[in-house]
Structure 1
Amino acid sequence: MINDPEMMSALIKPMRADVEILETYRPEAPVRLACPTTLLGGEDDPVVRPDLLERWASHVHAFVPVLLPGGHFYFRKSLPVLIDLVVSTLRPVLRAMPR
């Protein structure tokens, strides 16, 4: 891809826009989600350390931190566990929805 000038030309503008958003976005007011939230992280993540997940507490109504084996890309090692977690979390919600 790096050696393809046409592809790089097509990607550079959206990539610059993404970086600009990351550097300049400031929320107008804190947002607090009114739904229970499951926060996932890797036990050995050097970037998003498990203690940083606790910072979400002020942004959500209720949260459950779940640490999975692995680092920043924990889902690679823990995909079956992650899928089971998503399914078990969503199953009661889906059952309660009107048909």
Structure 2
Amino acid sequence: MTAPWLRRFHPADDAPVRLVCLPHAGGSAAFFHPISKAIAPAADVLTVQYPGRQDRMAEPALRSIPEMADAITRALVAWSDLPVVLFGHSMGAAIAYELALCLEAFGISPAAVVVSGRRAPSRLATEDVHPRGDDALLSEIEGLDGTDPRILQDPELRELILPALRADHEAIQTYRPSPGPLKAPLHAYTGDADSYAPMADVAAWAAHTTGDFTITTYPGGHFYLVDHPLALTASLLKVLGAAARED
């Protein structure tokens, strides 16, 4: 464990590259445990644990994407001995973008940034879920199919996860991007039926880097990555392999 922000489920001390995974709103580091297991030891995988959930439940959840990116930057400085690839899903994609800008400002250029299930920062949409009541917020989460419905139906578990969910949604719905663009190559992944990340809005990520840009589409909705782990892993391994070769 590299508490408090980073988790290292499958240490790979001899790996030539490092993958840093950033979860979605309401998500935790454990969401990426299967990906970490599938990719190690080809890469050393770090997964980010936001405050306000699981073993950080006692800490207040942050309500600002730049604030989270700044804190994660400070945590990652000690792990900059290898080329770093960032992979963020949904809210995690916005954090990955801000984190990459912070790292570049520190003189630590990510080898690549992979953004998943998120429209480009220049394609902001009006969202107002976070100020609504609990039922509206939970209905929004349920519609994304990324949370075990048994958790949403259990009153005690719902009470545990609601503060972090509300804080995360406030963070992403009030997010305004920092000036870019990135220098790092940028790769966008999306589900072809993801109404939260329409193809035109995902393609707009191209304007947020001066490096190479690619877009990869998978069958499915917002949580396509749960249904296509093998294809996702193969794609990430290609990005990681390219990053390792360029070091």
- What TM-score, normalized to structure 1? 0.72
CA offset digits 1:31-81 (Å, max 9, x no partner): 211111110011222221222211112112231011112222211222111
Measure, in 2, the Cα distance between the counterparts of 1:57 and 1:94.
23
Percentage of pairs with the same residue: 28
Measure, in 1, the Cα distance between the counterparts of 2:192 and 2:169.
28
Measure, in 2, the Cα distance between the counterparts of 1:30 and 1:89.
25
Pick from 61, 80, 83 the counterpart of residue 233 of structure 2.
Answer: 83
1:66 aligns with 2:219: no
Structure 1 residues 1-99: aligned runs within 5 Å = 2-4=154-156, 8=159, 11-27=161-177, 29-61=178-210, 62-97=212-247
Per the alignment, do residues 81 and 20 of structure 1 end up closer, same or farther by CA in structure 2, a change over 3 Å counting?
closer
- What TM-score, normalized to structure 2? 0.33
**Aligned residue pair count:** 94
Contiguous gaps of at least 5 residues in structure 2? 1-150
Q: Greater helix share, 1 or 2?
A: 1
| Bigger CA radius of gyration | 1
* Other structure's SS at 1:65 match: strand
* Structure 1: 4+ residue segments shifted above 6 A: none
The one-letter amino acid paired with 1:38 is H
Q: Greater strand share, 1 or 2?
A: 1
Q: Is the 8 A contact 2:186 2:206 kept in 1?
A: no
Per the alignment, do residues 71 and 13 of structure 1 end up closer, same or farther by CA in structure 2, a change over 3 Å counting?
closer
Per the alignment, do residues 43 and 13 of structure 1 end up closer, same or farther by CA in structure 2, a change over 3 Å counting?
closer
Q: Is the 8 A contact 1:57 1:63 kept in 2?
A: yes
* Other structure's SS at 1:33 match: coil
